[in-house]
Amino acid sequence: MNTLALEALIEEESRIKPKSDVISLEVIQGCIRKNKDSQKIVYEHYYKKMYAICYRYAGNSDDAKDLLQDGFIKLFDKLHINIEITSVDAWIRKLFTNHCLDFVRSAYKKYMVNQSEWDENMQDKLADTQEVSDTWLDLYESENILKALAQLRPDYRVVLNLYAVENLSHQEIADFLGIKHATSRSKLLRARASLKKILQKNGK
């Protein structure tokens, strides 16, 4: 991407979004030149959002912090003048999502093998709860949903993330994780039910 294109892109983003949400051209150019001050501005602008993505996939703060760390190292390494970016914001988000998906793909087998790590009693503790209206989830803050998601069984969490948040189809999820189409469907159903129970147990 040349400087003019980058300039046009940032102008376009600043028209659509509030000024505080847009990183300036100088800052992006500074990051391309590996300038520490510019990197700091980009880091501080994005780290909370990117941490939420990492936490959503990792399910614990330690892994999420590692993913955040590696993600930003990758970002600052990959950000150079020749890269094709249609939106800086979307590009960074996509980079982190792909980074987390790589982690999920490598860790998925471990999740399946080490199910003993997951406290199976948790499922029993969460007794059947009464049905509520379909807007019940609206009442919860994002942070609480993220924390509830972290308490889900790891394989349920991955499938729910891929289906509901990344909008992948069951076939795509099955291909990605190397599982059967029907397994993906059943895991999603259980994930939704478990999430509902956890949220109701945790409260708003």
Partner 1 sequence: MESNSRKRMDDILHDKLANASLDADGISWEDFQNKKTKRRAVWWWWASGAATIAVVLVCFNWIGNISENVKGQETSTAQNKSSESISPKGILLNPGANLRQRNSGNNSVSQSGNYFNRNQHAMENRSKHNGFNTYRNAPVGQIAQDQLADNELKEINPIYENEKQYQSTEEIAAEIYKKVDAATHSNMDSFNHAPFVKLAEKDVNSISKNKDKNSDKNGIDLLHIKGLYFQLQAGANLNYPNFLVSSYGSQFIHKNYENIRKNSEKGLWGYSFQLHAGKEVGRFAIETGLGFTFMEIAANYQFSYSEKPIRDIDGRIVGYNNTTPEWIQFKNTHKYYFTDIPVMLKYTVFNSPKKILRLKTGAVAQIMNGIQGSLPDAVLLDQREKLRSENFKSFSTALDFGLEYGWKKGDKNQWILAPYYRKNWGLDQVQSLYKMRFNYFGFALSYRRSL
**Torsion sign, CA atoms 136, 139, 145, 148:** negative
- How far, in Å, CA of 189 to CA of 201, rounded? 19
Helices 181-202, 170-177: axis angle to 10 degrees equals: 100
Burial class (CB in 10 A: 0-12, 13-18, 19+), 52: middle
Stretch that binds partner 1, among 12-20, 26-34, 43-51, 179-187 (CB under 8 A): 43-51
Residue tagged 């397994």 (tokens): 183
Query: With binding defined as CB under 8 A, does residue 27 bind partner 1?
Result: no
Shortest distance, CB of residue 28 to partner 1, whole angstroms? 17
CA distances from 204 to 105, 122, 135, 139 (A): 32, 19, 14, 7
Q: Please, which residue, 4 or 113, has the CB nearer to partner 1? A: 113
Number of residues engaging partner 1 in binding (CB under 8 A): 44
Tell me which stretch binds partner 1 (CB under 8 A): 10-18, 51-59, 98-106, 170-178. Answer: 51-59
| Stretch of 4-12, 47-55, 98-106, 172-180 contacting partner 1, by CB under 8 A | 47-55
The nearer residue to partner 1, 1 or 144, going by C-beta atoms, is: 144
The region of 3-11, 26-34, 159-167, 174-182 touching partner 1 under the rule CB under 8 A is 159-167
- Determine, following the binding rule CB under 8 A, whether residue 137 of this chain makes contact with partner 1: yes
Nearest CA among 166, 160, 104 for reference residue 137: 160
Please state at what angle helix 170-177 crosses helix 88-113, rounded to 10 degrees.
Answer: 60
Residues binding partner 1 (CB under 8 A): 40, 43-44, 47-49, 51-52, 55-56, 60-66, 68-69, 72-73, 114, 116-119, 121, 134-135, 137-138, 140, 142-143, 145-146, 149, 160-161, 163-165, 167, 192
